[in-house]
Structure 1
Amino acid sequence: MQMEYSADSVVAARSLQTYMYIYTLTATFWTYDYASSLDQELMFLLQSRWTKVKVLYIVTRYMPFLLFVGHLYLNFIPNENPNKCLTLSNICRCFKLILVICSECFFILRTYVLWNRSKVVLGAMLSAFFAVVVAFGSILFSAKTIALYETSPIPGITGCYQSSGSVELFLPFVLLFALEFGLLSLTLTRVVHSWRSTNNCLFVVLVKHNIFYYACGLLFSAANILISLLLHDAYNSMFEEYAPSKPAAHSH
């Protein structure tokens, strides 16, 4: 006898499947990206001297793997234990917070150097950074944003989702967007000054200072704000891991 499922259950099941496809596809491309540059990666890791910046780079570069493993496992675990989903999700949130901290530290260091190691600029950036990190972590692990997880009653649909995500979920990305916009503005100011003083091609100067990676991180933060506000079920967390790990990981 065929069972009838509610429209909400069908929509949630589709969101889980879409979420799984996107994460699997992204993990595949991410792995290919690492494999295609493995020789350069090994050369950099083995030949360069160990510094704090190198450790920061390694954490930023390889932390996404832990996030992908955690989320892919969430997508394929048996669908009768929502409490397990909550535990794994909180672990992934810890990884996410570490990744955000390391990624933004990269941007702050680059901006600090561009501004000729100005202590005033560094102080302003660090003050904003610490405020954002504290607020980001507080919101990310607050009781309001850690809603109960649900599983699909439809056979063959694995994984779990938050059916009633909180509107507060978009706030961490608003804070991140504001911080990245400030760093991008500071960087653009120095880039334009460098362009005027050297008379080089503006495009070359922009590429040299990785402006497009900064803009990419800003774009993903903006996308996460809209997705968190407009979408539900598994859809609203599809691109959380993409901001800002990809830009920072390639900025060396």
Structure 2
Amino acid sequence: MQAEYSANDVAAARSLQVYTYLYTSMATFWIYDYACSLHQEWSFLLWSRWSKVKGLYVVARYVPFLLLAGHLYMNFVPNENSDKCQLLNNICSCFSLISVFCSECFFVFRTYALWNNNKIVLATMITTFLAVVVASITFAFATTATAPWTTSAIPGITGCYQSSAVVQLFIPFLLLIGLGFGLMSLTLIRAIQSWRSTNSRLYAVLVKHNIFYYACGLFFSAVNVLTLLLFHYGYQAMFQDFQFIVLAILATRMHLHLWQTDRHAHRSSALVFIPLSDVSSAGSPT
């Protein structure tokens, strides 16, 4: 005799399936991107000098592997223990925060370089950035800790989801929107101030990268706010790590491009009007 399930059970099961498909697609896309940029990446890792930015690159590039592995384990391995679901989610959340922290740090340093290493600008950005990070961590863990985790009532459907709505999680994404607007404004102000006096290819690359990165961050943050407010079950969280993965790809890919542009500028003896040594981590082969 076939068991009958409620509409809520069916909706939750479908959300878990979509959630699993999305993370499988993200893992495939991440591995594909890694394979496509493998030659450039190893050239950068071998020939560029070590700096804080290179350290950020390594963390931003490889932490998503751990993030995706944790979510795929949680989505595919049968699990009926809600405490284990909570533990796995907390671990994955830590990886997510590390990933987005490193990605955003890239562009804090880039904006600092655009402002000619202005200490006031740096202090303002760091203070705001740390405030956003601390507030986001507080909201994220305080909210998810009080929402119970459960599994699908339908046999064969693996994965966990939070049975009650956690709409308060949209607050960290609102904070990211505010941070993105602030950094984008600093980039645009500097670009307007210097567009006539600066004729450097590196400068143009920095401005274009910054604007595109911030635009993507603002778009995905807005999508996550709407998803958290409008959807339920596993649908609520399906784009959160997607945003962090895309931002990590953009940050690392853009850094490789900047490094290659900087190497070409050095070889061509081109004049560079802004201090980019720390940002690009350029170094000539020995």
Give the TM-score taking structure 2 as reference length.
0.82
How far has the Cα of 1:19 moved from its partner? 0.7
CA distance in 2, matches of 1:250, 1:104: 14
How far has the Cα of 1:172 moved from its partner? 0.7
Aligned-partner SS, 1:186 = helix
Which stretch of the first structure deviates more once superposed, 120-129 or 205-214? 205-214
Task: State which of 231, 236, 247 in structure 1 corresponds to 2:250.
Answer: 247
CA distance in 1, matches of 2:18, 2:6: 19
CA distance in 1, matches of 2:210, 2:121: 19
Q: Residue 59 of structure 2 contacts residue 102 of structure 2 at CA under 8 Å; is this kept in 1?
A: yes
Aligned-partner SS, 1:80 = coil
Q: 1:93-121: CA deviations, max 9, x gaps?
A: 11112122212211110000001111111
CA distance in 2, matches of 1:223, 1:196: 36
CA distance in 2, matches of 1:193, 1:205: 16
Identify the residue that residue 74 of structure 1 maps to in structure 2: 74
How far has the Cα of 1:160 moved from its partner? 0.8
Identify the residue that residue 99 of structure 1 maps to in structure 2: 99
Name structure 1 gaps, 5 residues minimum. Answer: none
Identify the residue that residue 145 of structure 1 maps to in structure 2: 144
Q: 1:223-249: CA deviations, max 9, x gaps?
A: 111111111111111111223433322
Give the length in aligned residue pairs: 249
How far has the Cα of 1:58 moved from its partner? 0.7
1:47 maps to 2:26:
no
How far has the Cα of 1:200 moved from its partner? 9.4
Identify the residue that residue 62 of structure 2 maps to in structure 1: 62
Distance of aligned partners of 1:91 and 1:45 in 2 relative to their CA distance in 1, 3 Å threshold: same
Identity %: 62
Aligned-partner SS, 1:250 = helix
Which stretch of the first structure deviates more once superposed, 132-141 or 2-11? 132-141
Aligned-partner SS, 1:105 = helix
Q: Residue 110 of structure 2 contacts residue 206 of structure 2 at CA under 8 Å; is this kept in 1?
A: no
Q: Residue 217 of structure 1 contacts residue 247 of structure 1 at CA under 8 Å; is this kept in 2?
A: no
Identify the residue that residue 182 of structure 2 maps to in structure 1: 182
Identify the residue that residue 4 of structure 1 maps to in structure 2: 4
Aligned-partner SS, 1:251 = helix
Give the TM-score taking structure 1 as reference length.
0.92
CA distance in 2, matches of 1:138, 1:208: 33
- For residue 138 of structure 1, what is the amino acid of its counterpart? T
- For residue 111 of structure 1, what is the amino acid of its counterpart? T
Which stretch of the first structure deviates more once superposed, 96-105 or 204-213? 204-213
- For residue 249 of structure 1, what is the amino acid of its counterpart? T
- For residue 248 of structure 2, what is the amino acid of its counterpart? S
Distance of aligned partners of 1:205 and 1:98 in 2 relative to their CA distance in 1, 3 Å threshold: closer
How far has the Cα of 1:141 moved from its partner? 1.1
- Bigger CA radius of gyration: 2
RMSD: 1.9
1:1-252 paired onto structure 2 within 5 Å:
1-142=1-142, 144-146=143-145, 147-197=147-197, 208-241=208-241, 242-243=243-244, 244-252=247-255
- For residue 253 of structure 2, what is the amino acid of its counterpart? H
CA distance in 1, matches of 2:248, 2:199: 32
